[in-house]
Structure 1
């Protein structure tokens, strides 16, 4: 594991079990209560930058990493992007921590967290926070996410075009006056155009039968998840439904549920301060700094 420092944040490189390298941003000191943050599909660790910095300042050892095929982490050569493989990567990251962490996962990251926690002993993690995800979600909302992630395969002529695409996907979020922050999620390729910085092979269409099988498997795994758990969902989310929440609570009776008003599926990006406020009481109870 290699690291480099910059102010309150530093970068680490973590090796996976199949010898890929994952890029991580960290804050705080090793030995402090640990928190690992997993981003959603098509995002990068930078979506957690504000939360990582805040947690470090509050006395936690916080780490957010780019999933394989995303951001500055390696792409899988096969490609192998199953949730089982993503859970393997999470296990590699957890092994670098001084103590069992609280794991916070948004969307795809939440699904990864459930897979990893559900197949390990309770000592694997101290607590779990799911961010706008449940084993069974609204197929229309899921399709809208998929259409955005699979769109724009030919890239963008400039950063303004990329900002327009994000604004069309998230019309309730104010468009930033300066879109240059998007460059953390874009790379200039040999064709002279800007492309989202993730492996396009990562996102493949799944049949309704495959999605239902995966949902049922994850619900069955819930019987092994006995650690404290919190679900934070966006009031304007078109992905997580009341039915999905109720179904998950039936399998995880100890699940706490928090709701962030004015936020959609991308809660941390839509209302970062409100999101931090929603998770802090849970962290203070289950991993006091």
Structure 2
């Protein structure tokens, strides 16, 4: 983050401390940004700067179990709890914000808005997430998150793992920026920043995750009465045409903005197009 932004801590559900970068005039229309599972608030760096430059007050949040936010002592990373964290942050703002959420962050936002009778947000941006995701893509993400539980001996080893997962992206010559996504533990090895319990395999006594996730989000849709935009990467292996069609049927006001040349990490793949689509939507719907 630049010196124009401040890192703050918010108290979420169950007293957990949540880290966020905050920028822009607090009197301006607020926007809360929520990253995807396994990401951090740093993934929004360029988008946050653009939103602040366009006249928004931005709170860029690290979800519980990620980066600089606390880990849950009982591994509670369920949607209702993530939504409770979000609502605790919203309660500190002067007015209801727009919510911009990628993947897990988008699901959290939809769930929070759709299950809260009073209006807690003015607009909703869902980044490459729909209630019924493509199973193969979801399995691929889960496999990556559960890989390398022993960590990495060097930064180069971690960079190799990322390069293998994103073969379409040029590998950075200097991998030092990856340290924002890693932490060195007592064993001396580098581990991903997130709580390993986030991506533990479901217990046998739990229903399969995707159907439960789908049911939760579809159930929330009738309670969403604000302008909503789906930003989809056309190369995404998470969001398919059938999932978009079902989402449109459940949420009639849904708009779709397709980003050519982007996969699931839309902002990372095509930040220019992403910023244009999101800023245009927010200016039209909440008028800064």
TM-score interval (norm. to shorter):
over 0.9
1:102-161, Cα deviation, whole Å (9 max, x unpaired): 001100111101110011135210000000000101100000000111111111111111
Gaps of 5+ in 2: none
Question: Is the Cα contact below 8 Å between 2:7 and 2:21 reproduced in 1?
Answer: yes
Q: How many residues align?
A: 285
Question: Is the Cα contact below 8 Å between 1:8 and 1:27 reproduced in 2?
Answer: yes
Gaps of 5+ in 1: none
Match of residue 242 from structure 1? 241
1:210 positional shift? 4.1
Is the deviation greater in 115-124 or in 10-19?
115-124
Selected match of 2:42 from 41, 46, 54: 46
1:180-219 correspondence runs (5 A): 180-206=176-202, 209-219=208-218
1:170 positional shift? 1.1
CA RMSD of aligned residues (A): 1.4
1:214 positional shift? 2.9
Any idea what SS the aligned residue of 2:13 has? Answer: coil
Q: Structure 2: how far apart are the matches of 1:146 and 1:209? A: 13
1:213 positional shift? 3.1
Selected match of 2:110 from 114, 135, 138: 114
Is the deviation greater in 90-99 or in 169-178?
169-178
Any idea what SS the aligned residue of 1:201 has? Answer: helix
1:25 positional shift? 0.6
TM-score if structure 2 supplies the norm length? 0.96
Q: Does 1:146 align with 2:145?
A: no
1:30-83, Cα deviation, whole Å (9 max, x unpaired): 120111010000011100111111111221101111100000000000121111
Q: Structure 2: how far apart are the matches of 1:82 and 1:193? A: 29
Question: Is the Cα contact below 8 Å between 1:122 and 1:226 reproduced in 2?
Answer: no
TM-score if structure 1 supplies the norm length? 0.95
Q: Does 1:21 align with 2:17?
A: yes
Q: Structure 1: how far apart are the matches of 2:270 and 2:161? A: 20
Q: Does 1:251 align with 2:262?
A: no
Q: Structure 1: how far apart are the matches of 2:92 and 2:102? A: 21
1:219-250, Cα deviation, whole Å (9 max, x unpaired): 12201101000000101100101000000000
1:209 positional shift? 4.0
Match of residue 95 from structure 2? 99
Question: Is the Cα contact below 8 Å between 1:31 and 1:99 reproduced in 2?
Answer: no
Question: Is the Cα contact below 8 Å between 1:122 and 1:225 reproduced in 2?
Answer: no
Question: Is the Cα contact below 8 Å between 2:111 and 2:216 reproduced in 1?
Answer: no
Any idea what SS the aligned residue of 2:36 has? Answer: coil
Selected match of 1:88 from 80, 84, 88: 84
Question: Is the Cα contact below 8 Å between 1:236 and 1:265 reproduced in 2?
Answer: yes
Match of residue 54 from structure 2? 58
